[in-house]
Structure 1
Amino acid sequence: MTIRANKFTPEVLLSAPRRSEGNPNSDGSKILYSTSTYSFEEHAKTSEIRVLDVKSGETSLISDSEGASEPQWLDDDTVLLLSEGKEATSVKVGPVKGFGNSYDAGTIKGSVGNVKLVSLDDGAYGIAVTGKATPSGDLYNEKEDKKPQTSGRLYNSLFVRHWDHWVTDNRNAIFLATLKKDGDKYKLSQLKNALKGSQLESPVEPFGGTDNFDISSHGLVFTAKDPDLNPATHTKTNIYTVTAKDFWSELSKGINEPFKVPIHGFEGASTRPTWDNEGKAIAFFSMRTDGYESDKNQVFIIPDWTNPGWVQHLWASEDGKGSWDRSPQSITWGANQEIYFTAEEAGRISLFASSSDFSKSTRTPKLIVKGGGISSAILLKDGSLFLSSSSLIENSLYSMLPASAFLEISANGGSYSLPLNDSAPGQDPATRATKYVSSNTRSGSTFGLSRDQIEEIWFPGANNKTYVHAWVFKPSNFKKGHKYPLAYFIHGGPQGAWEDSWSTRWNPAVFAEQGYVVVAPNPTGSTGYGQDFTDAIKGQWGGLPYQDLVKGFEYIKENLPYVDIERSVALGASYGGYMMNWIQGHDLGRQFKALVTHDGVFSMTAQMASEELYFPFHDIGGKLWENPEGWAQWDPSRFAGNWATPHLIIHSEKDYRLTMNEGLAAFNVLQVRGVPSQFLTFPDENHWVLKPENSLLWHETVLDWINEYAGLEKYTEWRAKNGAVRK
């Protein structure tokens, strides 16, 4: 780390090197990763691909070329990466030691990404990448695209724009090729569009990537939106296979038509298709309910790729909900039919294990590594697992769960005896089952942060029927007997959660280091506390969650003596922004000195301008004309006559999920009512503020706003006096 500062400031957060998930070689002795750093002095980002030698702890440069990305291992000593230029993408191959001697294995005339490789018996590799395909099925090349003479766009169906862009005729597709030795160098074959002529699109926008498809020696499995349903009103995606015994050797002859895997009774999104390590079986997730993007993922297995119509449902139950009350997020196949899942549980993303053998899978998965926020688990050749994770104080941790830490699944039905541990940085390595590999921030100490700043509380929620979990983040210079203003964080979603993981957008440590005690509750609708708790928000947007937040505020007032409740502020984005607007019109709003809404809902009827209409249709309980009372019941604009608390509104122009007019309307109400208020907008940002310079302005504006009303020094004034010293 090259950043030095008096305290953990927005500049430190945004300038800190951002390290990708680690990509280990077969024995985990070397770890490939990419890292990027932004300089506010140079107003520029630098990116590198590096390799970590685990034994020595030393790193070395693979490439710092502009456009280099997605490093992959061909073998333990050879690296492949993409190098994107202005008109084409090069596939480069070279030795991990001395990659400067790399060569071009092939050139792809267009922009591609999401590389996946599979080793084939003849020493060759199958390779998959994704990119935009034209209506004819060819890889789209922006330089060759003919520019129209008009700027007009004509549409005749829903989904005219998505997330932050207008929809065009070009669609995501998966392209396949082989890498074979030609002399002493690999050569890339011609790319084949595996989806050509199928009317299917994969990865699924806006967030689909390598998690939407997988390859093996026998072919391709992927997820795609159901082509017979409009994506604006449906979430249904299907699993498709494209397979053959000699799939890759026959690739030049053509690709079979995708086979749609039958998943009876499950009409929602099917995701995360993953081949096992032998290329025989496939695991994936599926949801029951169409139109509900936060339904529970349930686990399915295709035991034999030659019979993809044979699908087994693990941990099924008579009520259809599934006996494992967690919604897994990722799949990693192990040895001996073991299978690993990451899943949210009580504000953490943890690792669970089970057997994929249908006859032994009567018991639900067992917790084996307690997060932190585990983002990936990769199997090594000795059966160990390489983990990438983060926490509230650590932006990138690599660790290992050794094979020796496991006890075999017993033969009497799949019982486990596995080590539990908290993988968060700062824990004594001698007391945890995972083995430390590398911390990007020295367990947070580079930022001046420690686990001592973090606590957890549980308080009675709405009607005292459930308990609500919350994170508490204190300043690093916290002193007993002192009181600190409260920053009350409300998360988005609403089916989401504050987790023990790192963020560069809503990082509680930045606010705590201003002098706040940050309390981040996970009220009704939050994920990781059982599906019933998540589902309970339907038709209750301003109901049960609001009651939980009122109860939480009362709990803080009565039980956290170090909080100066009279100097409280509240902040939220997306659904959290909706809740800020809702709170503003209700009694809880009068308890805060200031509020901050980022990209929140002002009027429920304006949700008809959203691109994904299935979302309000599900959560509110029907279409606008079918349930007008439900749409009106939780509409913040109905209570605009009560708005009185100073309020900062932030809304960006490329947010097509919640249109910018929502922010303007809220700001206009505040101004007309004479309520102190500000409006911040970015013409080039979407639902999130991602560009470093914009993000810095976001932090400056937010911190100055709340600090003034909480009785703290404005951040920009503190910085003018002290500055952040960087080397």
Structure 2
Amino acid sequence: MKHGIVLGGALALSASVVAAPTTAPFDIHQLNGLSKLHSTVVLPDGNTVVYGVKKKTAAGARSDLYLQTLGSEPRRLTNNKSTEHNLVVSKDGKRLFFLSGRSGSSQIWSIALDGGEAVQLSDLPLDVDGFKLSNDNSQVVMQIRVNVECDTLACSKEKQDAHKKNKQKGRHYDQLMVRHWDTWGDGLRNHLFVAKIEGQSLTAPVDVTSGLDTETPPKPFSGMEEVSFTPDGQHVVFSAKAASHDQAWQTNYDLWQVPVTGGEPVNLTESNLAWDANPVFSDDGRYLAYLAMSKPGFEADRFRVMLKDLRSGETREVSPLWDRSASGIAFAEESHTLYVTAQNLGQVAIYAMDVRFGDKRPLVEEGSNSLVKVVGGKLFYTHNSLQSPNDLYVVGLNGSEPTRLTHLNQDLLNPQGLGEFQQFNFKGWNNETVYGYWIKPANFEKGSKYPVAFLVHGGPQGSFGNRWHSRWNAQLWAAAGFGVVMVDFHGSTGYGQAFTDSISLDWGGKPLEDLQKGLAAVGQQQPWLDTNNACAAGGSYGGYMMNWIAGNWPDGFKCLVNHAGLFDMRSFSMVTEELWFPEHEFGGTYWDATENYEKFNPVNHINNWRTPMLVVHGAKDYRVPLEQGLAAFTVLQRKNIPSELLVFEKENHWILSQDNLVQWYDNVLGWMKRFTMASQDSSAN
């Protein structure tokens, strides 16, 4: 289904303050200055939405909430320097609940949607990091980070304050994980607390997860999508691992159910030793839907859509023959239909799935889409693509054309400064079909040839598909004069589980062949791409591939950019934090599967290195620690290969600071231009 065709009711944020549309070329400053949609909620009437917009102003970034009725102009709902997020609307649609730090800490507030000032609902010693309301709005379940030695929030607050003042800063551990993503273990855990809502305040919260000494919601990326009240409000269901010493090398997240008054949690999915997640109840209380993997220890297995009939107790997979991995689920207002998001051939599509028969039909197929709400015969969702950042859309459940509700960046983004893109395919490893995307330079002129920016995604079970990326934004290379090529090699997601599985134990095999054949194929299909004048760049596994290319395809590129790349699989396997990842990908621990680790170990091929390489790393990267990048740079320097090192002291596996992102692109684009432009100049002479 195409986007942007029907624009009924599509409006800018505020027609009274719009500036003249920009004609500036797209660059990192423009990317950083774009408005960002967040925290969308739909009112029960099915005709009104509230959403947060973060935008850049002369005084700095700010975020406000806007209320918009379909077909009308949006109205600003809040005007405070603090960001409001985690939006929840009351059952009657009259009040909005949200998190805000406007009182000095993150607490729950509410505001009447017909006007008035916001009222603080919670006043707890610690930050509330997330929350949900029960169906009848009488209770709230909150995510709060507490000290596991404490029985009260006040105790946790005291211990956290004392720790900050303690001059002894040594950390002592007796089991893994000692650090995770970008933080060291500090004795704190995400726990769930339930409180009753009485007027404009809460009763004393009860820690309903005190019996589990594990994270819930799990770190580092999960949120309240992992938590649900049961329809009767008597229990909370959540995803968490059982407390055990093997947290770092197993992925056995289960769904647990606990009374709202506290007590011993009951494991609802004990028989499944793989990952269970995202519990969602039908409005009538009959069904529990959730996502479940089937391979223990594998984080990129297919998430199956599961359904538990709460009357009969039967649990089954809804569509067992569907070879896609679901990422989000929501019930229709009736209990017989689920709306499911899943990657599919370079897109993130939304499907309607009949829970009785498993039949599916796509509602939104192109671009990258995320569910917001199904209500009033309509599906609300967010949409972005390689040419457009996130905006809010609505589509009828009968398959009608989508209506775009927001135009957040119509005056900030010059569409003429973006490159035309198209998906392509070719025969890769074993003559199997592999997909990718190319993007023309923004200043494309027919008859000219352009240097290539060959971008390799991370994961490795990931995808550089049809999406707008806030960090690796392919249009920035196109705006800099490159033809961009991205290949979803064997191991990528959205092409069936066998395709995803095929990279395990074969990191440098099928993927490298796909990349080589893909670059050759797209060069033949699109003669304007000068594939003999190309630089490659990648992060994480993509950075690993830069190191692997340096030793196994040393004449393929004029230069390489290695961001957070794995360099030595032996050392990596013993210093990364989520040990289940290398142990699955290479068939066990290093000492049990040494041959597998060494077969595709970049360090074993450094004698072949001769391609200039820029190495980039974050010092707080505990997934692929800094030493991996330092080792690669050391080899490059000692072998007198043109090389540079860019280290960000406060960044993790990603570059999140907008100022640092400017420096990142200045260095990356400058490095790639240096070698491709030099090649162009020499060939011209």
Q: TM-score, normalised by structure 1?
A: 0.86
- From 10, 14, 18, the equivalent of 2:28 is 10
Partner of 1:49: 65
- From 471, 483, 494, the equivalent of 1:517 is 483
Which structure 2 segments of 5+ residues have no match? 1-17, 681-685
Instruction: Give the alignment of 1:114-513 within 5 angstroms.
Output: 114-120=130-136, 124-135=137-148, 136-139=150-153, 140-141=156-157, 145-147=161-163, 148-181=166-199, 186-215=200-229, 216-218=231-233, 219-228=235-244, 230-243=246-259, 251=260, 254-262=261-269, 264=271, 266-304=272-310, 310-315=314-319, 322-336=320-334, 337-356=336-355, 360-361=356-357, 363-380=358-375, 382-403=376-397, 405=398, 419=399, 433-442=401-410, 446-449=413-416, 453-464=420-431, 466-513=432-479
Partner of 1:560: 526
- From 89, 106, 109, the equivalent of 1:73 is 89
Instruction: Give the alignment of 1:642-661 within 5 angstroms.
Output: 642-661=608-627
Q: Secondary structure at the match of 2:249?
A: coil
Please tell me whether the aligned partners of residues 223 and 240 of structure 1 are also in contact (alpha carbons under 8 angstroms).
yes
CA distance in 1, matches of 2:662, 2:61: 14
Please tell me whether the aligned partners of residues 26 and 414 of structure 2 are also in contact (alpha carbons under 8 angstroms).
yes
State the shift of 1:563 in Å.
0.7
Please tell me whether the aligned partners of residues 48 and 61 of structure 1 are also in contact (alpha carbons under 8 angstroms).
yes
Partner of 2:601: 635
Please tell me whether the aligned partners of residues 221 and 274 of structure 1 are also in contact (alpha carbons under 8 angstroms).
no
Give 1:379's aligned amino acid.
Answer: V
Give 1:258's aligned amino acid.
Answer: P
CA distance in 2, matches of 1:585, 1:332: 47
Residue 690 to residue 478, structure 1, CA distance change in 2 (3 Å): same
Please tell me whether the aligned partners of residues 52 and 84 of structure 2 are also in contact (alpha carbons under 8 angstroms).
no
Give 2:167's aligned amino acid.
Answer: Q
How many residues align? The count is 652
Q: Secondary structure at the match of 2:108?
A: strand
State the shift of 1:204 in Å.
0.5
Partner of 2:110: 93
Residue 47 to residue 87, structure 1, CA distance change in 2 (3 Å): closer
Residue 592 to residue 89, structure 1, CA distance change in 2 (3 Å): closer
Residue 539 to residue 53, structure 1, CA distance change in 2 (3 Å): same
CA distance in 1, matches of 2:476, 2:678: 14
Residue 384 to residue 485, structure 1, CA distance change in 2 (3 Å): same
CA distance in 1, matches of 2:471, 2:462: 15
CA distance in 2, matches of 1:387, 1:450: 26
Please tell me whether the aligned partners of residues 110 and 142 of structure 1 are also in contact (alpha carbons under 8 angstroms).
no
Q: Does 1:569 align with 2:535?
A: yes
Partner of 1:532: 498
CA distance in 2, matches of 1:447, 1:470: 25
Moved more, 145-154 or 166-175: 145-154
Q: Secondary structure at the match of 1:201?
A: coil
CA distance in 2, matches of 1:142, 1:698: 40
Please tell me whether the aligned partners of residues 568 and 601 of structure 2 are also in contact (alpha carbons under 8 angstroms).
yes
Q: Does 1:680 align with 2:678?
A: no
CA distance in 2, matches of 1:238, 1:90: 28
1:700-719 per-position Cα deviation (integer Å, ceiling 9, x unaligned): 111111111121899xxxxx
Residue 37 to residue 335, structure 1, CA distance change in 2 (3 Å): closer
State the shift of 1:596 in Å.
0.3
Percent sequence identity is 29
State the shift of 1:499 in Å.
2.0
CA distance in 2, matches of 1:28, 1:194: 33
1:117-173 per-position Cα deviation (integer Å, ceiling 9, x unaligned): 2331xxx43222201122224334379521233111111112100000001221111
Instruction: Give the alignment of 1:575-586 within 5 angstroms.
Output: 575-586=541-552
Q: Does 1:625 align with 2:643?
A: no
Q: Secondary structure at the match of 1:178?
A: strand
CA distance in 2, matches of 1:450, 1:378: 33
Q: Secondary structure at the match of 1:670?
A: helix
Residue 691 to residue 450, structure 1, CA distance change in 2 (3 Å): closer
Partner of 1:719: none
Partner of 2:40: 22
CA distance in 1, matches of 2:519, 2:652: 31
CA distance in 2, matches of 1:256, 1:277: 25
Residue 143 to residue 54, structure 1, CA distance change in 2 (3 Å): farther
CA distance in 1, matches of 2:174, 2:245: 15
Give 1:202's aligned amino acid.
Answer: T
Moved more, 597-606 or 45-54: 45-54
CA distance in 2, matches of 1:689, 1:509: 17
1:658-693 per-position Cα deviation (integer Å, ceiling 9, x unaligned): 010000010111111111111001111100000111
- From 32, 51, 54, the equivalent of 2:50 is 32
CA distance in 2, matches of 1:171, 1:445: 41
Q: Secondary structure at the match of 1:278?
A: coil
CA distance in 2, matches of 1:526, 1:370: 18
1:626-674 per-position Cα deviation (integer Å, ceiling 9, x unaligned): 1211111101111111111111000111000101000001011111111
- From 82, 88, 100, the equivalent of 1:83 is 100
State the shift of 1:38 in Å.
4.2
Q: Secondary structure at the match of 2:522?
A: helix
Please tell me whether the aligned partners of residues 62 and 96 of structure 1 are also in contact (alpha carbons under 8 angstroms).
no
State the shift of 1:457 in Å.
0.5
Residue 48 to residue 201, structure 1, CA distance change in 2 (3 Å): same
CA distance in 1, matches of 2:418, 2:30: 19
CA distance in 1, matches of 2:644, 2:216: 41
Please tell me whether the aligned partners of residues 89 and 107 of structure 1 are also in contact (alpha carbons under 8 angstroms).
no
CA RMSD of aligned residues (A): 2.3
Please tell me whether the aligned partners of residues 262 and 311 of structure 1 are also in contact (alpha carbons under 8 angstroms).
no
CA distance in 2, matches of 1:81, 1:97: 16
Residue 383 to residue 194, structure 1, CA distance change in 2 (3 Å): farther
Give 1:311's aligned amino acid.
Answer: T
Moved more, 547-556 or 59-68: 59-68
Residue 669 to residue 144, structure 1, CA distance change in 2 (3 Å): closer
Give 2:360's aligned amino acid.
Answer: P
CA distance in 2, matches of 1:106, 1:213: 19
Q: Does 1:603 align with 2:568?
A: yes
Q: Secondary structure at the match of 1:547?
A: helix
CA distance in 2, matches of 1:440, 1:290: 42
Give 2:220's aligned amino acid.
Answer: P
Q: Secondary structure at the match of 2:469?
A: coil
CA distance in 1, matches of 2:620, 2:183: 8
Please tell me whether the aligned partners of residues 175 and 245 of structure 2 are also in contact (alpha carbons under 8 angstroms).
no
CA distance in 1, matches of 2:642, 2:158: 47
Q: Does 1:615 align with 2:613?
A: no
Please tell me whether the aligned partners of residues 398 and 438 of structure 1 are also in contact (alpha carbons under 8 angstroms).
yes
Which structure 1 segments of 5+ residues have no match? 244-250, 316-321, 406-418, 420-431, 715-727
Partner of 2:10: none
State the shift of 1:523 in Å.
0.2
Q: TM-score, normalised by structure 2?
A: 0.91
Please tell me whether the aligned partners of residues 472 and 517 of structure 1 are also in contact (alpha carbons under 8 angstroms).
yes
CA distance in 2, matches of 1:29, 1:544: 49
CA distance in 2, matches of 1:313, 1:566: 49
State the shift of 1:188 in Å.
2.2
Give 1:579's aligned amino acid.
Answer: M
Q: Secondary structure at the match of 2:621?
A: coil
